[in-house]
């Protein structure tokens, strides 16, 4: 009866809605057929809305890291000086990809939980006018911080460098305005706030970045952006595209547009605030204390009261069918993370909070049952304007 | 009523069976979860069977070309001498990828429709003992020839070079024995004879090839085989794997094993022979006259009687819901191709033959209705041992 029953609350893959699931299951089409090209064209056009850009948005059959590599492989030549803002595991991944492509990498490393500092970045750029590209993570999934992209965009735009942003776990969950914020390359993936299965990545490129890409000599083929741009003119991909994921993406974008992108952001913010209020009421500590520095798509919680994080995760999974994530890298065992992006309703986070209260009680921690739920419901009522 | 009704007879993507479709639609799992790792481990283990290898088979979130690049990116250093056997568009693609990675590429180019010549390859290898790798296409989808992998493997095994085979449209449709035939790297993809949606590629590597990969210095990250091998020990992928396609692959492999791999080959061969007999009876010319040189997964037919190939393709699609493919590259407009791999029953090729007879009649060509069907049914009856 309940063997597939679950509440998937990790920071991706995220739950897939029935509508998107049905769309991904519709009869497959040839990737060069007119029927598919029509859907592809419409989908790429709709995708510009979530990037807030006038530029083309390209679809790649790869997971998010493939598109991060695409950003590096089309820009960086050996010995080019690049700046990587490292606020966690995914900033570190950008540094590793750049190292693999023989870049001269300057790493601006932050304490775990700290957000990127625009003034520090401005100083590094002024001391290194030869920096070709700045690599930045929007939502750093490992620490659950959100970096100040807009402020950093303001700084990078006045330099020869381009700004490359990994928004894999940010886009659609939190506002990002590629054109107004002067971001040169934005990358995202299907299995986060877009609520699809993994295997599709999206990338968009500014004119400032195209000027570099057109002169780029380094080795690339599957990830060669020029060939994607050329094929886009015929509403197709250079290589076989992820046909069924494109079906799902089209439906997911329609759902986002029907709800209204600003309402999608508000929903993520509401769920974030409900969860944060609940965590505080339960007596746990948030890994990111400052609400403005905390992601709206994933929340990190400290394993205080000497919580055994792994024990909590397994009780939630076994007894409550709620699947959450532990810490990554140096935060393994120190924090646990609850993902709340994409196909998630405020009621779903209440379910997660209930499970958390009961699992903690079950493990013998001093928790007042219902305290977290009450705090979360109050946040929701406030947002609805329902007086207490 | 019939808006999704179709007979998809292109050389990939291919039809997806209801069982595989349901499996790909089952509730998504986290890519690092124990539940997914168990499925992943079992699936990679089963995949060894279709490669006929003892080596690990790796799963990549990419389409076939991504895995072709993986083979190049882990083996080739700038200026390395490589031999590319070019029997069509996909051999040409191997040459392009090698050129992108700055290899010193020797291209052994064949006439369109010609198969690779083992003795010619032997001569080139003896004249160039410094060749590091030989790139070969199993089924050349563009010309519909099948190359003599086994004979070429016999030759390459006695040289320092490794043999890299693109079996994207070959594996499962035709026999390939990676270990016995001494193939060092085999690549295939999900949307051909495996009958899945596009977005998943498979690759396996011999010990002879690992020795080169372990010393390889060139830039790579998403396609870095060493990181896939390291993660395989923990039954996972270095980056987010194509979770739902792995569900489907597991089911597809079960279906192949239930039918029996040899029976799957026999079914493809029967369908090939039924279609070839029909084409001859209808009075059309096969692009590959020699049955032994012709693929069991895709058949190329010449546009004789001054057939307007594009007109035929559109009548088949509009009036009969049968979708076939035209020619690629220099064969555009000269041939049409019928794909018959994966989830296809002999009855399905009879449907295609009927549509072809009627579409030709409709276009005013001298066709005796039923002649193709009669010939195809005779082939099937012979195979069943039913006397005429």
Q: E strands, chain B, where?
A: 7-8, 57-61, 81-86, 104-109, 133-137, 139-140, 145-146, 162-166, 185-189, 200-205, 298-302, 322-323, 325-326, 335-339
Q: Is the pLDDT of residue B388 over 70?
A: no
CA angle centred on A188, ends A185 and A193, rounded to 5°: 145
Chain B residue at shortest CA distance from A328: B32
Closest by CA position to A32, among listed B350, B348, B89, B308? B89
Place of tokens 């493939």: A66
Closest by CA position to A64, among listed B187, B235, B242, B69? B242
CA B290 to chain centre: 19
Q: Is the pLDDT of residue B387 over 90?
A: no
Strand order in the sheet with B57-61: B57-61, B200-205, B185-189, B162-166, B133-137, B81-86, B104-109
CATH class of domain segment(s) B260-384: alpha beta
Write out residues 100-139 of A within 8 Å (CB-CB) of B.
100-102
H runs (alpha helix) in chain A = 18-24, 34-51, 64-73, 89-100, 118-127, 149-156, 207-215, 225-232, 243-259, 261-282, 309-320, 346-362, 371-384
d(C-alpha B338, C-alpha B38), whole Å: 38
Q: Which residue in the set A16, A61, A102 is minimally distant from B63, CB to CB? A: A61
Please name the residues in contact with B110: beta carbons below 8 A apart, sequence gap of 6 or more. Answer: B85, B86, B87, B116, B117
Closest by CA position to A337, among listed A381, A282, A275? A275
Kind of pairing between the strands at A162-166 and A133-137: parallel
Closest by CA position to B105, among listed B138, B150, B135, B66? B135
pLDDT digits (tens, 9 = 90+) for B93-137: 999 999 999 999 999 999 999 999 999 999 999 999 999 999 999
**CB atoms < 10 A from the CB of B200, how many?**
29
Closest by CA position to B343, among listed B23, B14, B10, B21? B14
Q: Is the pLDDT of residue B75 over 80?
A: yes
The answer to whether residue A280 neighbours chain B at the CB level (below 8 Å) is: no
Q: Is the pLDDT of residue B50 over 70?
A: yes
- Please give the share of chain B, as a percent, with pLDDT higher than 70: 99
The answer to whether residue A314 neighbours chain B at the CB level (below 8 Å) is: no
pLDDT (0 to 100) of residue B99:
98
Answer whether the bond into residue A89 is a cis peptide, omega within 30°. no
Mean pLDDT of chain B: 97
pLDDT, one tens digit for every residue, chain A (388 residues): 788 999 999 999 999 999 999 999 999 999 999 999 999 999 999 999 999 999 999 999 999 999 999 999 999 999 999 999 999 999 999 999 999 999 999 999 999 999 999 999 999 999 999 999 999 999 999 999 999 999 999 999 999 999 999 999 999 999 999 999 999 999 999 999 999 999 999 999 999 999 999 999 999 999 999 999 999 999 999 999 999 999 999 999 999 999 999 999 999 999 999 999 999 999 999 999 999 999 999 999 998 767 899 999 999 999 999 999 999 999 999 999 999 999 999 999 999 999 999 999 999 998 999 999 999 999 999 999 996 5
pLDDT (0 to 100) of residue A388:
59
Kindly determine whether residue A21 and residue B25, on different chains, have CB atoms separated by under 8 Å.
yes
The answer to whether residue A230 neighbours chain B at the CB level (below 8 Å) is: no
- Whole-number Cα distances in Å, B30 to A197, A326, B276: 10, 12, 46
Closest by CA position to A302, among listed A316, A283, A317? A283
Answer whether the bond into residue A52 is a cis peptide, omega within 30°. no
Q: Is the pLDDT of residue B242 over 90?
A: yes
Write out residues 50-109 of B within 8 Å (CB-CB) of A.
61-66, 69, 72-73, 96-97, 100-102
Q: Is the pLDDT of residue B325 over 80?
A: yes
- Whole-number Cα distances in Å, A20 to A38, A134, A252, B18, B130: 18, 35, 6, 18, 52
Tokens describing residue B166:
């693109």
Predicted ipTM?
0.94
Tokens describing residue A9:
């609350």
d(C-alpha A376, C-alpha A334), whole Å: 24
Kindly determine whether residue B219 and residue A224, on different chains, have CB atoms separated by under 8 Å.
no
Write out residues 192-221 of B within 8 Å (CB-CB) of A.
197-200, 218-221
Kindly determine whether residue A29 and residue B12, on different chains, have CB atoms separated by under 8 Å.
no
User: In the 3-class helix/strand/coil scheme, how is B314-328 assigned residue by residue?
Assistant: HHHHHHHCEECEECC
- Domain A18-258, second-level architecture: 3-Layer(aba) Sandwich (3.40)
Chain A residue at shortest CA distance from B3: A27
CA angle centred on A343, ends A342 and A346, rounded to 5°: 100
B243 vs A contacts (CB less than 8 Å): 13, 191, 197-198
Domain boundaries, chain A: 18-258, 260-384
The answer to whether residue B376 neighbours chain A at the CB level (below 8 Å) is: no
Q: Which residue in the set A6, A101, A224 is minimally distant from B219, CB to CB? A: A101
Q: Which residue in the set A25, A65, A222 is minimally distant from B21, CB to CB? A: A25
For the whole prediction, is pTM greater than 0.80? Answer: yes
Residue A88 DSSP label: S
A71 vs B contacts (CB less than 8 Å): none
Helix (H) or strand (E) holding B66: helix B64-73
The answer to whether residue A239 neighbours chain B at the CB level (below 8 Å) is: yes
d(C-alpha A99, C-alpha A105), whole Å: 7
d(C-alpha A227, C-alpha B206), whole Å: 32
Q: Which residue in the set A69, A245, A323 is minimally distant from B222, CB to CB? A: A69
Distance from CA of B188 to the nearest CA of A (A): 13
Answer yes or no: are the C-beta atoms of B197 and B13 closer than 8 Å: yes
């Amino acid at each position: 009866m309940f063997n597939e029953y679950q509440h998937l609350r990790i920071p991706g893959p995220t739950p897939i809605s029935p509508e998107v699931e049905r769309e991904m299951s519709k009869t497959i089409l040839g990737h060069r057929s007119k029927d598919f090209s029509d859907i592809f064209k419409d989908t790429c056009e709709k995708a510009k809305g979530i990037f807030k850009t006038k530029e083309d948005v390209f679809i790649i059959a790869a997971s998010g890291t493939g598109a991060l590599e695409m950003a590096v492989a089309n820009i960086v030549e050996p010995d080019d000086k690049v700046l990587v803002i490292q606020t966690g595991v995914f900033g570190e991944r950008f540094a590793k990809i750049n190292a693999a492509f023989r870049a001269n990498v300057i790493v601006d490393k932050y304490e775990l939980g700290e957000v990127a500092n625009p003034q520090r970045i401005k100083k590094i750029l002024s001391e290194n006018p030869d920096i070709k590209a700045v690599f930045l993570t929007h939502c750093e999934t490992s620490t659950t911080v959100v970096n100040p992209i807009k402020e950093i965009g303001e700084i990078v735009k006045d330099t020869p460098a381009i700004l490359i942003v990994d928004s894999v776990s940010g886009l659609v969950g939190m506002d990002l305005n590629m054109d107004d914020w002067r971001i040169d390359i934005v990358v995202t993936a299907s299995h986060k706030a877009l609520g699809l299965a993994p295997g599709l990545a999206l990338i968009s490129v500014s004119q400032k970045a195209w000027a570099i890409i057109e002169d780029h000599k380094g080795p690339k083929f599957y990830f060669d952006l020029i060939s994607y741009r050329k094929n886009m003119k015929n509403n197709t991909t250079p290589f076989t595209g992820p046909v069924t994921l494109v079906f799902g993406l089209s439906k997911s974008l329609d759902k986002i547009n029907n709800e209204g992108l600003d309402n999608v952001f508000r929903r993520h913010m509401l769920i974030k605030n409900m969860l944060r209020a609940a965590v505080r009421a339960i007596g746990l500590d948030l890994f990111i204390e400052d609400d403005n520095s905390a992601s709206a798509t994933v929340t990190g919680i400290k394993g205080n009261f000497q919580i055994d994080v792994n024990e909590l995760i397994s009780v939630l999974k076994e007894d409550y069918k709620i699947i959450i994530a532990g810490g990554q890298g140096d935060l393994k065992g120190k924090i646990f993370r609850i993902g709340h992006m994409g196909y998630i309703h405020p009621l779903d986070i209440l379910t997660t909070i209930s499970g958390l209260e009961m699992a903690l009680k079950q493990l013998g921690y001093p928790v007042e049952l219902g305290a977290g739920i009450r705090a979360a419901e109050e946040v929701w009522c406030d947002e609805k304007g329902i007086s207490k």
